[in-house]
A and B are shown apart, each in its own frame.
Chain A
Amino acid sequence: MGSLMLDRREFVRQLLIDRGDLLVVSGLGSATYDVGAAGDHPLNFYLWGAMGGTAMIGLGLALARPDRRVAVLTGDGDMLMGIGSLATIGVKQPKNLAIVVLDNAHYGETGMQASATQAGIDLIAMALACRFRRATAISRIEDAAGIRALLHSGEGPTLINAHISSEDVPRVLPLRDGHAIKRRFIAALDANGRVPAPAP
């Protein structure tokens, strides 16, 4: 079964090639390691905790910066814990937000216990029911370029359910100091584009 699924590292690497202005929020655990392994970048906001909150950080960022594209990369466990945020995002309809769920149907950090997606709980159906503009699955690496294009130009909100192999991969540990990650991100965003002034 593993060979029919995506290699998570190669998939994330291809998603983040030539990323340009893309703002990236990664969920705790393997998603943060995958994003770090694709190449450290000041416009990565790595989470090491706050399970269930990744998609909502993406929403706050997407609302604050409608001029920029926001990609949330996270695992199925984090997405399931914050599943109500699909409804919250669906209400706001951020055109610039895409969520990529790296779905291995397991809790990888804690001993590979089965997650709800292994029992057929359908994230795509949930996203569509929450009025996401687009929700689609990917399981072949040949389709990664099309998903990458969606992150950069598709009209959101978008959810990508990426079926990844549950094989273990080496940990790649990016920056972990939360203050440093935040300050670096804000400084890079300031340098790249004007931060809107507060309301009068």
Chain B
Amino acid sequence: MSKNVTQLHRRQFLKTSLSASAVFAAPMIIPSSALGLDGAVPPSERVVVGGIGIGNRGTYDLGCFLEQKDVQFVAVCDIKEKQRIAIKKRADDHNKNENCATYRDFRELLDRKDIDAVLIATGPNWHCTAAMQAAKAGKDMYCEKPCTKNIAQSVILKDTIRRTGRVFQAGTQRRNLPHFAFACELARTGKLGKLKKVFAHPAGMQAMMSGWLIPETEPNAEVVDWNLYLGPAAWRPFNAKLLDGFNFEKGGGLVGGGVLEWGSHCVDLCQWAVNDVPAPIEYDPPKNGQLVARYADGVELIFRETGWIPLGSCPVRFEGETGWVETGDSGKLVLSSPTLLAGRTVAEIAEYPATFHVRDFLDCVKSRSQPKGNAEAACNAHIACHAANIALHLGRQVKLDPKTNEFINDEQANRLRSEALREPWRL
């Protein structure tokens, strides 16, 4: 390791302080106190929330929502009876009542006028379609990632969020973690010199598809509603193994894998580092464990499996002409030079739950500002992942027009930009 490398261990960081807030751009919010949040929250300031598809990740997200004093969680929808019961119990225990309503069909939940926002934590198959339905129903939404299954969905989702005026927060919570924010800030503000390369870790650079498995006896819809579980995905018979929403039909059932699963986090951070410009315009096929994409200004976005400093999962690295920074989920930062701190100490929180990302969302629900994981930013990152997956899938270079998000003179790649939804679903 370079002698000039400075490592900042989490324990070495100061606790969150005024100085930390000086480093990171603060979310554009009204102070909570101004909204009456420093004590009891008046009903007019509460955000009434419903949950859609609350499994493992969703349960964690839900905990983050319930921690917020101004959240009133009133309803859960899940295609699994077991989850409906479990989440209702959790909400009712928290709310000290028995009022959390349960739904099998999320459209009934969206019909409720009293619900302001929804937490969408279904499997990836549903994310975009449910988010579109929520936006059209006038709900703001916190939507887990990957948010879209293909490029066309990404474009339509961000257009719809803009058109409907809704607040959208992707579950890209690392945008609200100080060490990632700091690293991106260094890259974005020229502290590393002219930016040359940004690196993302796809954690499994392979396109995947979920399958048509051996048919099993379909459960009673009240127990598991298979039809609603499939939702926009092309039909296939019930098989309990497909109920693992995590792997089911992400990336349109044709492409996905680590490039999308982890890319929606680490590519998202790379996008932030390059100032959330449109996705790269060229994507080479993978070579020696690396897939290189290029932005319009020549900066390279490199998906690479190995060569990382051991800084935990979801590592990113940004290299400029005069310096570099690397960080990951460990919360540690490695810098080419301590001078990159510009005399500042990076404050770090002891743990990094997504609570702050949720808070960012809730504040924006009230202020109508754009949260860190807004639709425009998230969808651009997703487009980069989808395009990389298409290059991976086709085994050759593809070129993307950043204005139209279509591949240039490449019908084969363009045919992979979108995929029909099963009836009756549409975007």
A and B interact physically: no
